[in-house]
A and B are shown apart, each in its own frame.
Chain A
Amino acid sequence: MKSRVTRREFFRAGIFTVLGTAGAATLAQLGLKKPARAAVLAHEGEHAGAMPSTVGEVDHVRNGFDPTDILTDFDYGTVSTLPDGQTLREYSLVATDKTIEVAPGIDFPAWVYNGRIPGPTLRCVEGDRIRVHFFNASSHPHTIHFHGIHPFEVDGVPGAGPGVIPTGESFTYEFDAEPFGLHLYHCHVFPLARHIAKGLYGTFIVDPQGGWPPVDHEYVMVMNGIDVDFDDENDFYAVNTIPFHYQLHPIPIKVGETVRIFLVNLLEFDPINSFHLHANFFHYYPTGTSLEPSEYTDTIMQAQAQRGILEFAYKYPGLFMFHAHKTEFAELGWTGNFEVTVAEGAGDGHAE
């Protein structure tokens, strides 16, 4: 009986979506300005039992970060100009031990940069001078290892420059930002898998001179996993740490708006991750090191530390999923939604 009701609700939600595609004018007349919201309610409301989901909501305030904010939280550093005219960007990263509620009700003893997983998204322009002031306030030794082109002394591995940074000590990693593209940073103290899996990583974006073509939205998505019981297997998967976050809180965009996603794979233990976008195709720029896309597709895969830039726009309104197409990961948390609505102007214009 119950499953039948669920199915009916699902079909009803589907009908709203179809209505949405039929035209904004009809919907405006019916007073249904947000067709996708109806679908959201059907998915996430009383009949959420039909699909995988965590129970409850993570306390983002106690965690100190919200995955929704992480999407668009770019750290451009403190900017100044060096005597020779080169732009200097200074960043401050502090490693700490911190308990993070990684899934509702489940605390995880994490290691974090600046109190969050993933760490801050450092963004600069190709050729900038980068100074990252690192202070280790964690009870274990850590480093920061950047992907990019830089001297050996600042490679952030044991034996390079100061080597590992012990508890209570600091070091400044200084180098020129190159090449342009989408990169990452992470702790490189051994055992490496543990130091990464516990949360010491983040995104490092080097914009090309003159920047990328303008878009309406830029989002950072770090694909990761959480091994809550330390058996070297992930128990939950996510983008930006919290499983199912963007399923519970869909990312709102408008029909026709251009979207750029900086997608980084920092999943430990599992060799391959993937990204699939529903009802759409995207241009893919592997590692972001070229302004020409390599592929027009709806699914890409990334091994550990692989990353790339996705660009797309939605043609139709609706509630569209994005998830790992390794469905095990999807059902263990790596699932989200874009809530695509018709731009206000378009609807109003037609209604008049």
Chain B
Amino acid sequence: MATQSESKPGVRPSKGVRPTQGARSFSVGTAVLLILPLVLLGGIIALFLTTGGGLQLASPVPVEALTVERTVMAPGTIEIAVRNGGPEPLTIAQVIINDAVWPMDVVPRRTIPRLGRATVRLDYEWVEGEAYAIRLLTGNAIAFDVEIPVAFTTPTPTGRTFLSFTLIGLYVGVIPIYLGILWFPALRALERRWMVFLLALTVGLLLFLGVDTVVEALEQAASVPAPFQAIGLVAIGATATFVLLMAITRRQQAIGRDEADRRLALAYMIAAGIGLHNLGEGLAIGAAYNLGEIALGAFLVVGFIIQNITEGLGIIAPVLRDRPSLRNLALMGLIGGVPAVVGAWIGGFAPSATLSVLFFGIGTGAIFEVAYEIAGMLRKDMAKESMPLVIFAGVFAGMVLLWVTGMLIK
């Protein structure tokens, strides 16, 4: 359908062309044939569950998996949110903290069903800045270790910490993107080959960000409970986003918008892709801050500003030859930057590795799709005037730019 309408913009298939064979052949017989395999499947499952299907393969060793999702420390207490990622229910029998068996409560109960969540609570006078090793022992004597490298009170959603996370998001996302967009008037004065260079640069930036996002997703995947299949989530998020954005672009072309409108739409999509990337970045920063793994010093924030200023550049690159309204530019800046704030909130107050992985997957798909669209745009430009070295220089410079500025924040 899509290819059909693409070849003939504005022309829709008439009602008379609509095929009718499908409706004619759908009868009771077809319905029975459709349902029969499902009925048989149900029968086999029932047989299997009741008799075991003749398999004598009970696992001799209990396989247990427990994922620590979150550790919340308040004065005098430590709470550990865990999820049972194993095939069977699991019981938390005892807890040892820094080589001392410690009384504890598990809410809602000590036996956690498959994929169920529970919170282990210890009344323990921990000391700010010290390290703690907590060992959760299950009823099958399998130990799961929780490391607290630096103990400090977990930020709770008070007005003040909320403001802090908002500021982090602003510094990391919104401000640098607007700084990049501020180049717009100056860049408009550039000659055509420089505009092509900037588009190529944007492709380079996006490719680098895309790879970076995939790596982040895979790193986070390690802390997702196995049944949630983190890699699968990344693949679904990335592919679905890529195909969906491609469909939206084709649709817009089909509706017959002019070139300028399409370039503006592309700029919006770049903003959205970068926004998703920044959402992931915000999540990572918020979560890392909670774990005490990151010192959000001035140097790091400066690094993020320098790196993300290039993202603003990427957003405006497609529309340099047009006259987008100030409102459009402002909106694109918000789309690209504000998700960093939202990400920092989520990461800071309710981090979830599973959610992060999904967002990173979506971001990956969006970024690569946008790079693909710009490449298409460049191909059109090349048809008018070939400048392969400019494109090479642009892509290369874009990637190197992020690699170099990345040194400031890694």
Complex: how many Å from CA A53 to CA B102?
5
- Interface set, chain B 128-146, CB cutoff 8 A to A: 135, 137-143
Of A2, A55, A106, A243, which is within 8 A of B76 by CB?
Answer: A2
Of A56, A229, A331, which is within 8 A of B143 by CB?
Answer: A229
Please state if B76 and A52 are interface contacts (CB–CB under 8 Å). no
Whether, in the assembled complex, A236 has its beta carbon less than 8 Å from a beta carbon of chain B, the answer is yes
Please state if B101 and A106 are interface contacts (CB–CB under 8 Å). no
Complex: how many Å from CA A172 to CA B11?
100
Of A2, A48, A104, which is within 8 A of B94 by CB?
Answer: A104
- Residues of A close to B99: CB separation below 8 A: 328, 331-332
Mask, A32-48, CB within 8 Å of B = 1, is: 00000000000000001
Number of B positions contacting A (CB below 8 A): 23
Complex: how many Å from CA A3 to CA B110?
25
- Residues of B close to A244: CB separation below 8 A: 101
Known: A105-B110, A235-B137. A55 touches B94 (CB 8 A): yes
Of B102, B125, B141, which is within 8 A of A106 by CB?
Answer: B141
Q: What's the least CB distance linking A237 to chain B, in Å?
A: 9
Complex: how many Å from CA A320 to CA B188?
85
Most B CB contacts (10 A, CB to CB) among A48, A49, A107, A328 go to A49
Interface of B is mostly: strand
Of B91, B95, B103, B137, which is within 8 A of A49 by CB?
Answer: B103
Whether, in the assembled complex, B123 has its beta carbon less than 8 Å from a beta carbon of chain A, the answer is yes
- Interface set, chain B 79-128, CB cutoff 8 A to A: 91, 93-96, 99-104, 110, 123, 125
Q: What size tier do the contact residues of chain A reach?
A: 20 to 34
Complex: how many Å from CA A108 to CA B143?
13
Of A107, A235, A236, A333, which is within 8 A of B140 by CB?
Answer: A107
Please state if B93 and A236 are interface contacts (CB–CB under 8 Å). no
Please state if B140 and A332 are interface contacts (CB–CB under 8 Å). no
Most A CB contacts (10 A, CB to CB) among B95, B103, B141 go to B141
Closest A residue to B75 using CB positions: A3
- Residues of B close to A107: CB separation below 8 A: 139-141
Complex: how many Å from CA A235 to CA B141?
10
Q: What's the least CB distance linking A61 to chain B, in Å?
A: 18
Complex: how many Å from CA A280 to CA B135?
35
- Residues of A close to B96: CB separation below 8 A: 235, 332
Known: A2-B76, A104-B94. A52 touches B100 (CB 8 A): yes
Of B103, B137, B140, B143, which is within 8 A of A53 by CB?
Answer: B103
Please state if B91 and A105 are interface contacts (CB–CB under 8 Å). yes
Q: What's the least CB distance linking B240 to chain A, in Å?
A: 42
Please state if B123 and A52 are interface contacts (CB–CB under 8 Å). no
Please state if B141 and A52 are interface contacts (CB–CB under 8 Å). no
Mask, A102-122, CB within 8 Å of B = 1, is: 011111100000000000000
Q: List 8 A-B contacts (CB under 8 A).
A: A3-B125, A53-B102, A54-B103, A106-B137, A235-B143, A328-B100, A332-B96, A332-B100
**Residues of B with Cβ closer than 8 Å to A?**
76, 91, 93-96, 99-104, 110, 123, 125, 135, 137-143
